[in-house]
Chain A
């Protein structure tokens, strides 16, 4: 089967899928044809599904010797015409960081799924968490921007994975797909679309010899094997790709460009959902697994007459600053339920003038609706 035939065979199907599996199918719909990974709970389901499905659609699955090799192979495949991805959890995500920076520096579009579990270190292997939010942003060294998305359901895991590939291709940047053990393992109804009705961003490739690493904010790519003898390096380079590790200008020009291409498009990349924000005294902000009980708590609090709105972040990085600033002006206090000790809450603090309170929970069990409801009632 080729990719088109394979995707036609899945058209309009309704399945009962884990968030992990839905993410994998989303990748296949996005045209992913290369996966390299290494097993780890709670992300292994993605590798298992890809190993089963990719050969059917004409793609390739490789289990590498570790996560460093996995992300390396992913980037090698990108420059050889692949749409590629890997999936891991905290320990593997930590190992990948050097080469994630390489992907930023070489502007290699790819998707890295991190199904977050409790850390640091091996932590609670089988328990979900949201402790990698800041690592997704700052895990690799040096100045860089990052795109990270976080779904809250199986269906969104599917849909958002397509967006993850689209953004990575459009901005020529790695995209971190921040799942968590809860959403990754939840099992829910997912409806597949018709591939012909989907908006898939096709890689911008130049057939003529052009500068692949500069000259415009997001230059088109030239892939290996096109006879252009391109030079791809993670060292500081000129717009033609050749190393220049000594001039201040070369570094300044390159790094500011790869920074600005993301940050100046912040609002275009920012996906979020708002509820009850036109009539609120307080605001809850959450994302991923923690957003589910938060939504429940918001409904319950409103039933009790407490005017609270809800902002659910879908894009975590670049941080959706404008919506936070705007809503911050209209609320007395912001509550941020998250399964860590306050990572997004401290980011929000930077952009609002009202008090921001983290409603944190760690240990691998998600917040209950009552826990959040009671916490907020007691602290308004």
Chain B
């Protein structure tokens, strides 16, 4: 969690500075003050460790939190966007059932980025895979290429989006790891919402972070690790 504290600290510093600058001329008093003037760097790689043992069957809190945070309708028809979904899996031979949240796995080698003709799908230096909706032409090739079915296409015109989460008709979208919150030093909404603390979010590259330490000590897997995409989301107890 260290890195988060650091992020918070620097965020506080910048915002205080900004507030000071803003108040001085008395002009920007109303400013939203969310500044962050440095580019993200590859020293950080954001990831998650999801403890499926803790994830309760039938609990949908992460999904609800995601929908609220990002302004998704929460509809379940095949044309509705679902950035995160709960999957129930059952071992056919052993009969063991597990429930887990599935979303964009923020691959290190993301096929969606490889296939995107315009470079709209891209990976940020800190490992977050995003769609630049200014460039997306809506060809849906990335949806064909993603092995986790993580992406949705916006089938209808949208209105009254969250000012922090622009989304619109005719473009493809997926879990952003709540990039707008991360840039403010906060955690993704799902991680915060989970009542059982099953979603641990942090910097995989920092050996002293809680997530890195836990990955060293407990057995965790990446879904479809055979594809060699090295996702940033890991699962424990699969």
A and B co-occur in one complex = no
Residues of A within 8 A of B (CB): none
Enumerate chain B interface residues (CB-CB to A < 8 A). none
